[in-house]
Chains A and B, each alone.
Chain A
């Protein structure tokens, strides 16, 4: 066995002990030899089964759609919400909506508003195109990253 002159550790011994630890499935081995004491330990992760229950009070599930929201989030031209808030499709209740499906929009044009903390956030078209889909309703609570519209 070689002994590391620099720090007095016997690397081979430690490596052997570590292997022994794995073989025996133990979590800890400690040996003492003259003035040398080595303790080798590893943490064993106990995996508990995970039960998932739907959160109470969560918004009612959307009617079954042909394409899941996860797919919409990856659709080309999709615009994702930059924040949590409430979506509004018109500047004020009863007013004309900012856009409808089929509308041609130019870059920077306001598509809808998301309100959070009495802050009205205009959500602009990132590029010019045609509104293919509108994925939110007026007054709907919105999560961060939720798909809002598809413009392509």
Chain B
């Protein structure tokens, strides 16, 4: 069985490009943007050989995991385009819940009808954690198109069948979390969930709603946070996100700092990390 778009994604006009094996789905999507493909098109594989994470870090996609990159063209400016990462995180959490019902998405207060099981949260800016261990990473790449619009590639790497060992942080996979969902099933659910959250985002007009939904699933709200900014380390409490989705850190001396970029560690990791 191969990769398929869900009904919602097909009806909304999304295209699909599936590979058995590919170097990097983000690189494939970007290459298409540069020759004029406007999207929306998903580039997917269950085996990536040169996947990339932030700043040249490798992202392993062993056979059976999912690497999916969505190419879209937007009228939005660059700071707004970056908020599509929140849309992706929300869509991915919903997709995981669809194919792995035993895994709960942490929304607000625990309801009695929530299934008992690992809890998914979103780590700023856009990782998916299950009980604090990384299940998925999201990396966006943006380039300007000749017509003045922006090409945005939203790359999602999801540990479905396996999680890499020897990482400096805890990682897990859906299989280890008790799900037997395949990469193909997860992708179909993801492509459909994306359509829903993308409609809420509405070219950025619905960002406040996206922010609200995201904060309800946020990891580490109110907990210690450490951010590496150039050569400095900022420590404080993760207070909230500002209206543009940037991290607001409350420092011990009562100052509020707005963080757009940086290596971020939450909770217990914030105390141990970045020594």
Contact = CB atoms under 8 A, between A and B. Distances in A.
Interface size class of chain A, counting residues whose CB lies under 8 Å from the partner chain: 20 to 34
A124 B144 contact: yes
Contacts of A84: 79, 246, 260-261
Contacts of A115: 54-55, 261
Interface stretch (B93-101, B134-142, B161-169): B134-142
Given A92-B55, A93-B56, A115-B261, A83 B143 contact: no
B211 to A, nearest CB: 12
B229 interface: yes
B261 A122 contact: no
B77 A116 contact: no
Nearest to A57: B255
B173 to A, nearest CB: 21
A145 interface: no
A82 B77 CA distance: 8
B140 A119 contact: yes
A108 B30 CA distance: 14
B140 A118 contact: yes
Nearest to A95: B56
A118 B125 contact: yes
A60 to B, nearest CB: 10
Contacts of B230: 86, 139-141
Nearest to B126: A118
A38 B13 CA distance: 67
Given A82-B77, A82-B78, A92-B55, A117 B142 contact: no
Given A91-B56, A108-B146, A120 B141 contact: yes
A82 B260 CA distance: 13
B78 A117 contact: no
B261 A117 contact: yes
A91 B26 CA distance: 14
Contact of B261 (A86, A95, A110): A86
A91 B79 CA distance: 20
B193 interface: no
B85 interface: yes
Contacts of B246: 84, 116-117
Interface of B: 52, 54-56, 77-79, 81-83, 85, 124-126, 138-144, 146, 229-230, 245-246, 255, 260-262
18 contacts: A86-B260, A92-B52, A93-B56, A94-B56, A115-B261, A116-B79, A116-B82, A117-B82, A117-B83, A117-B124, A117-B245, A118-B139, A118-B261, A119-B140, A121-B78, A124-B143, A141-B230, A141-B261
Given A92-B55, A117-B124, A141-B230, 12 more contacts: A83-B79, A84-B79, A91-B56, A115-B54, A115-B55, A117-B140, A118-B138, A119-B78, A119-B81, A120-B139, A120-B141, A120-B142
User: What 6 A-B pairs come out closest when comparing CB atoms?
Assistant: A92-B56, A119-B140, A119-B82, A117-B125, A116-B260, A86-B261
